[in-house]
Amino acid sequence: MSASLPAPLMASRRLVRTGLLAAVCLAAFATAGCQSRSGLGDITGSIGRSEAQPRNPADWQAESQRWGKRYDANPKERDAAFYYARALRALDQNAQALAVLQGAVLIHTNDREMLGAYGRSLADNGRLKEADEVLSRAHSPERPDWRILSAQGTVADQLGEPERAQQLYQAALKLAPGEPTVMSNLGLSLALSKHLPEAERVLREAATSNRSDARVRQNLVLVLGLQGRFGEAETLARQDQSPTEAAATIAYLKRSVSQTNSWDVLRAGGSKGKTTARKPEAPMGEAPKV
C-alpha cells in the first residue's frame, strides 16, 4: 500500500537500524514498504570496535566525511574502510557501504569483524541468503560472538525461518544474558510467530534493563497494539513521544490491526529483507545495527 508512516514510526525505523527486525515489523505492519537494517542494528547488537559512536545524522555525516577522506587516500587501509562503511550504513547509504566492504573483505580476508560488517551490509541490501552464509563465517564455534548470532537471527526471521531465528537469539543470550537488543529481536520474532503473550513478556523484561532505550519500548508498543491493548500502548509510547505523536502512532496501529490480512502483511514484510533496524549495530547503540 502507499500509505506513509506517521512521523513517530518513521523515527523509530531510523533508530532501529540493530534493530533490523524491529524496523521491519513497524514498517511492514503499518503497510508501508519494509526496510531492513541488519540490524535489527542492528536492534541486534553492533559489530564494531568499542569506541564511542555518533548518535545523530549530523555526527554520522561528519564521520562519513572524515573516514571517506582516509578511504579515498588509501582504500586498502583497514580502519578507513571499516569505519567509512559503518558511517555509510548509519546514513542508509547501503549500496555504497556494500561496495566499500566488498573490496575490504578481499584484502582483509582473515578479519572476522570486517566479515561480520559485510554480512550485515548484505542484509541491508536485501541479499539475505548471502548475508546468512557470510555471517555464519564471521565467528567460530570455539569463539562465538553474540552480536553475530543476533544478526544471523534477524536474517533468519526475514527468510521466514522464525524457529531457527529464535534458536540463534537464545544462543546469543547464553553469551550475553539479559542483553536488551537481543531480547528485543527475540520478542519481535515471537510476535511474528503469533506468540504474543510470550513476546510481550520478553519485551517487558528487555524494557526494564538499564541498558534498554526507546527502541525496545517502541517494539513493546507494537506488540501491545497487536493485542488490541491500545490504551496501554499509548501510555508507553508517551514515555518517548509527545502526546500528539503517541496518539498518531496508536491511530496508525489501530488502522493496521483492523485489516483482515494484517498478519500476512507483517510476515511478507519480514521476509522481504529491507528493515534495520536494526536493525534492528540492533544497536544504534551501535549504528541498531544488524
Task: For 181-230, write each residue's pLDDT tens digit.
Answer: 999 999 999 998 999 999 999 999 999 999 888 989 999 999 999 999 99
Distances in whole angstroms, Cα of residue 124 to Cα of each of 89, 92, 130, 223 = 8, 9, 11, 24
pLDDT band at residue 158 under the 50/70/90 scheme? very high
Q: Is the dihedral of CA 5, 9, 11, 17 positive or negative?
A: negative
This prediction has a pTM of 0.75
pLDDT band at residue 74 under the 50/70/90 scheme? very high
Among 50-54, 126-130, 193-197, 231-235, the least confident range: 50-54
Helices (H) and strands (E) in the chain, counts: 15, 0
pLDDT band at residue 153 under the 50/70/90 scheme? very high
pLDDT band at residue 53 under the 50/70/90 scheme? low
Average pLDDT on 123-129 reads 96
Look at residues 190, 134, 197, 128 and name the one whose alpha carbon lies nearest to residue 165: 190
- Ranges assigned E (strand) in 111-228: none
Question: Contact, 51 vs 66, CB < 8 A?
Answer: no
Whole-angstrom distance, CA of residue 126 vs CA of residue 260: 27
Answer yes or no: is pLDDT of 51 > 90. Answer: no
Average pLDDT on 88-96 reads 96
Domains of the chain with CATH codes: 7-272 (1.25.40.10)
Look at residues 211, 232, 210 and name the one whose alpha carbon lies nearest to residue 221: 232
Among 31-35, 51-55, 123-127, the least confident range: 31-35
Ramachandran assignment for 178, one of left (phi > 0), alpha (psi -120 to 50 degrees), beta (any other): left
**How many CA atoms, within 13 angstroms, populate the side-chain half-sphere of residue 22?**
48
pLDDT band at residue 119 under the 50/70/90 scheme? very high
Q: Rounded to 5 degrees, what angle do the CA atoms 71, 74, 79 make?
A: 55
Answer yes or no: is pLDDT of 164 > 50. Answer: yes
Answer yes or no: is pLDDT of 1 > 60. Answer: no
Average pLDDT on 97-122 reads 96
Average pLDDT on 83-110 reads 96
